[in-house]
Amino acid sequence: MSVKFEETKITTTTTPGGKHDLIHEVGNALTKGGGANGYLAQAYLRQLQQNPLRTKMLTSGTLAGLQEFLASWIAQDRSKHGHYFTSRVPKMAIYGAFISAPLGHVLISILQKMFRGRTSLKAKILQILVSNLIVSPLQNTVYLASMAIIAGARTFHQVRATVRAGFMPVMKVSWVTSPVTLAFAQKFLPEQTWVPFFNIVAFIIGTYINTHTKKKRIAALRRKHYGDSRSQTGRPGDEYDRSSRGGY
């Protein structure tokens, strides 16, 4: 058995242009495919160049849906059927693909055109200011309005109230994270990757905020319907679903 193994080994390493080359290529595909310079990354960058809007829509939609699912799973916020894949997941995916991505594509493209070829420190600082004072407020307003509609708001008054209540808290988060992410993008990333990069940062922050919000809501429902003594052992999703149906 060992002799056959050695023979196979000699055949694959000494035959020029034969099995060794094939194995080498397969190894490269397996080890480099997921890396920063691998085939998958290069294919994604190529799609960004050839079909920028479509690629950004797919990326944003996937991340938005995944964010909602992960937040529900971490917070143990289940549907009335006991699932983490709630109706909000596809709604968030639709928002990410058809609202967030096109809006970000247009606004970031305008921002990049305004400062294209301007590499001075003054120009970079001015770009960050424009992003924080114009781009971010527009994006956050659309985001809050969309979240209000997804949550069930059906009148202009309800949507406006949600936007007014959440605007400054969301803007404070943007003013902390946006300068850092934009400065990083200015220095290290090609322009076509800015929107996906911002989407990934927003995905991480949004998952944390969404999870925290869900946990607070579930804890409030526990206190309201079962009391603090029960809140330590109850199942969050079940309690939320029962309370939403009016109790037992």
- DSSP labels, 128-189: HHHIIIIIHHHHHHHHHHHHHHHHT--SHHHHHHHHHHHHHHHHHHHHHHHHHHHHHHHHHS
Mean pLDDT, range 62-84, rounded to an integer: 91
Under 8 Å between Cβ of 203 and 66 = yes
Q: Is the pLDDT of residue 242 over 70?
A: no
pLDDT of res. 24: 58
C-alpha to C-alpha distance for 142 and 202, rounded to whole angstroms: 15
pLDDT band at residue 209 using 50, 70 and 90 as cut-offs: confident
Q: Which residue type is seen at 40?
A: L
C-alpha to C-alpha distance for 42 and 19, rounded to whole angstroms: 26
Phi then psi for residue 18, to 5 deg, are -105, -130
pLDDT of res. 107: 95
CB burial of residue 246 (10 Å; 0-12, 13-18, 19+):
exposed
Q: Is the pLDDT of residue 138 over 90?
A: yes
- In tens, the pLDDT along 105-126 reads 999 999 999 999 888 999 999 9
Q: Is the pLDDT of residue 52 over 70?
A: yes
pLDDT of res. 14: 46
C-alpha to C-alpha distance for 233 and 68, rounded to whole angstroms: 24
| Beta carbons within 10 angstroms of residue 46's beta carbon | 11
pLDDT band at residue 214 using 50, 70 and 90 as cut-offs: confident
pLDDT of res. 32: 55
pLDDT of res. 17: 53
Q: Which helix (H) or strand (E) holds 196?
A: helix 194-225
pLDDT band at residue 230 using 50, 70 and 90 as cut-offs: very low
φ/ψ bin of 117: left (φ > 0), alpha (ψ from -120 to 50), beta (otherwise) = left
Instruction: Considering only residues 81 and 239, tell me which one the structure prediction assigns the higher pLDDT.
Output: 81
φ/ψ bin of 155: left (φ > 0), alpha (ψ from -120 to 50), beta (otherwise) = beta
Q: How far is CA 59 from the centre of its chain?
A: 8
Under 8 Å between Cβ of 215 and 208 = no
Under 8 Å between Cβ of 49 and 56 = no
φ/ψ bin of 35: left (φ > 0), alpha (ψ from -120 to 50), beta (otherwise) = beta
The pair of three-digit structure tokens given for residue 67, joined into one six-digit string: 């964010």
| Beta carbons within 10 angstroms of residue 94's beta carbon | 16
